[in-house]
Amino acid sequence: MLDIKWIRQNQAEVQTIADQKGIPISIHQLVEYDDRRRALLHELEQLRQDRNRLSQEISVFMRSHEREKVDHHKKRVKEINQRLHTIEEEHKEVEGHYRQLMLYVPNVVSSDTPVGVSDHDNVEIKRVGEPTTFAFEPKDHVALGKLHQMIDLPRGVKTAGSRNYYLTDMGALLHRAVQQLAIDVLVQRGFKLLEVPLMVRTEALLNTAHFPLSQEQTFKMAEEDKWLVGTSEVPLVSYYDHEMIDVAEPIRLAAVSTCFRNEVGSAGKDVHGLYRLHQFAKVEQVILCEANLDTSEQLFQEITANAEEILALLELPYRIMAVCTGDMSQKTYKQWDIETWMPSRHGYGETHSASNLLDFQARRSNIRYRDRDGKTQFCYTLNNTAIASPRILIPLLENHQQEDGSIRIPLALQRYMQGRERLEP
C-alpha cells in the first residue's frame, strides 16, 4: 500500500505503473473518492461540534428556564442528528469504495526494472554455466521418474485429480534432501528458521498484498475464514503483523512449508510432469529491514546470492532475469527470477524468484520501527525462494542423468541421500 498523500502528488506516475502491471484501477477515481470522504468527514466533524455546542447551550437555557430557546435548540439538534445519520451512511459507503480501490494501487517500480508486457520481455542479466549437452538421447524427468520408480503421476491424478503426484522411495528422499540443503545454507547465513501456519485468515493475505489480485489462485477452506497459503512468505511477514520491531540489524526469517496454488487460468500451460502443480514444498527466505534503498538493494543481492549458492551446490546451469513491469506482481518494486536449464523443455524454466517490496507490505501489515531519530517508520520487506520442490527435481534429474539411465547425485546432496553417489535404475 502506498501513502495516499504520495499518490495524490504522483497520480500520473501511479496510473502509468498500474497500466504497465495490468491492474484495472483508475487513480483519478481513487482521488475523487478521497476528496469526497475528506469532505464528508469534515462535515461530520462540524455537525458533531455544532451538536455538542447546542447541547451545552440547552443545559444553560434549562437552568435559566428559557423554554422557548430550549425547544428551538432541541429542534436544531434533531435536525443535525438526521443530517448526521445521512452523512455517516454516505461516508461509510464512500470510505468502503476508497479502501477497496486502495487495495488495487500498485507499488512503484525500480528505475532498472524493464518495461514490458509479459515474461517474453524479461531481460537476462547473468548466466552461469552452459546448457547441458548429451552424447545420447536424454530422457525427460517423467521418463526418468518412471524408470527409477520415484515419480508416480497416474496414481496422483487418481487420488487427487490433475496436477497431483506421488513421490516414492528415492524421489521422496531427493525431495527432502534439496529442502534440507537449502535450510542448512540459510541457517548458516543467520536466518531464523520457523515452522509456520499453512492456513491463514483473509487479513493475512490482504496485509501481505496477495489479495485481492491473487485470490483466484488461492484455495479457500469451506465455511471458514481460512485459506491455504501458496507461499510461507505470508505467515513469515505476518509474524510481525501490527508490531513495533527492532531492525537495527535486518531480521532474516526462513521456513520450509507445503504450498498450495489453484493455478486458475493456466490450463494447457506447463502441465507436463512436475512443473506446474497444485501442491509443492518451498523453502522461503524473508527479510525485514530499515526503510533505506541502499540497504534493501544489498539485501536483495544477498537473498539472490543465497539461491545461487544452492544452485551451485546442485551443480545446475542457470540464468538470472530482470522481470519486466507486465510480469511482476502488484506488490513488487524490483524482481529477479532465476531460471534453471531444463533439457526436456529445451530451455530455461523458472525455479526461484527474488522480490524487493519496499514498505508496501509493511504499510498494510502495520509493521513499524523507530529510526535513529526516534521517528516511527514502516519497514521494508524482501523475499526469495531458496528452493521449490518437486519443480527443482526436473533440472536435477535431467541434467545429471547418465547414458545407462543412472542419475548422478551432486556431492553436496550425497550426505542427505544416505551417502549415495548415484541412483541406479
Active-site amino acid positions: 261, 276, 350, 353, 391
CA distance 310 to 416: 14
Give the other-Cβ count within 10 Å of 272's Cβ. 13
> Helix 27-63 and helix 11-21: axis angle, to 10°?
130
Q: Which residues make beta-bridge pairs with 339?
A: 319, 350
Q: Which of 198, 210, 215 is nearest to 381 (CA)?
A: 210
As given in the structure block, the three cell numbers for residue 319 are 540464468
* Of 204, 263, 194, nearest in space to 229 by CA: 204
N-to-C CA span, the chain: 52
Angle value at C-alpha 55, between 54 and 61, nearest 5 degrees? 85
How far is it, in rounded angstroms, from Cα 305 to Cα 300?
9
Smallest CA-to-CA distance from 132 within 406, 396, 389 is with 396
Distance (Å, whole) CA 187 – CA 100: 39
CB 186 within 8 A of CB 179: no
> Pick from 103, 333, 358: which is nearest to 215 by CA?
103
Q: Is 295 helix (H, G, I), strand (E, B) or coil?
A: helix
Retrieve residue 315's grid coordinates. 551443480
Q: Are 397 and 408 in contact (CB under 8 A)?
A: no
Q: What are phi and psi of 218, to 5 degrees?
A: -115, 135
